[in-house]
Chains A and B, each alone.
Chain A
Amino acid sequence: GQQVMQIPQYQHVQEGEDFTTYCNSSTTLSNIQWYKQRPGGHPVFLIQLVKSGEVKKQKRLTFQFGEAKKNSSLHITATQTTDVGTYFCAGSGFLHAGGTSYGKLTFGQGTILTVHP
């Protein structure tokens, strides 16, 4: 089945340093989504990438989708303490129920980011 690998597992940075997490899929993805989970909280959707080579930005966050649609990255510029949490990528595949295909997200293991002030 589809596997999504995410590295690194942990990242400790000083406030103001940059941070990058990488996501690799064993199969070509139709799209990839990124989620953030604050400590003790639940995952919250950040963004979705659909097109090959797509790059999207949200303030200090830059998301990229590889040309082959098998890898993705999230880069945070000048981290802040509010960036603390676990960042998950999730690649989409399909579930089958009642003769119809439905979306399924396969989550990476996540990268736990800690930011030291």
Chain B
Amino acid sequence: SQTIHQWPATLVQPVGSPLSLECTVEGTSNPNLYWYRQAAGRGLQLLFYSVGIGQISSEVPQNLSASRPQDRQFILSSKKLLLSDSGFYLCAWTRTGMSSYNEQFFGPGTRLTVL
């Protein structure tokens, strides 16, 4: 069966510090991968998606970047965090192909607080 992992689960960082969040998927190959951010009490904002190794597309301009160094590894990074980067970061995967018809499987999330 497939599983998706995210770490860390919670993170408190000072403004201006770097960030690295990791997501890995097990039990499947060549998944489509997504990073979302959820502000408190709000919906999900798509940040990045990837259809393959080294292929990253950004949905919104921001202070963050993403990388996919391996097939089942997706990393979210920042060089200098802003207060507005606080939120709940969710990684998700779908089966490859026309994934508009595929359900998204979400990881447990990372709750980031920037102080």
Closest B residue to A101 by CB, please name it.
Answer: B98
Mask: chain B, 55-80; 1 = CB below 8 Å from A; 0 = not: 10100000000000000000000000
A26 vs chain B, min Cβ distance (A) = 15
Which range holds the interface residue count of chain A? 20 to 34
Assess whether B44 is interfacial by the CB under 8 Å rule.
yes
A93 to B108, CA, bound (A): 25
Known: A45-B105, A92-B100. A103 touches B41 (CB 8 A): no
A25 to B64, CA, bound (A): 28
A48 to B103, CA, bound (A): 8
B49 vs chain A, min Cβ distance (A) = 6
Interface residues of B (CB under 8 A from A): 32, 41-44, 46, 49, 51-52, 55, 57, 90, 94, 98-109
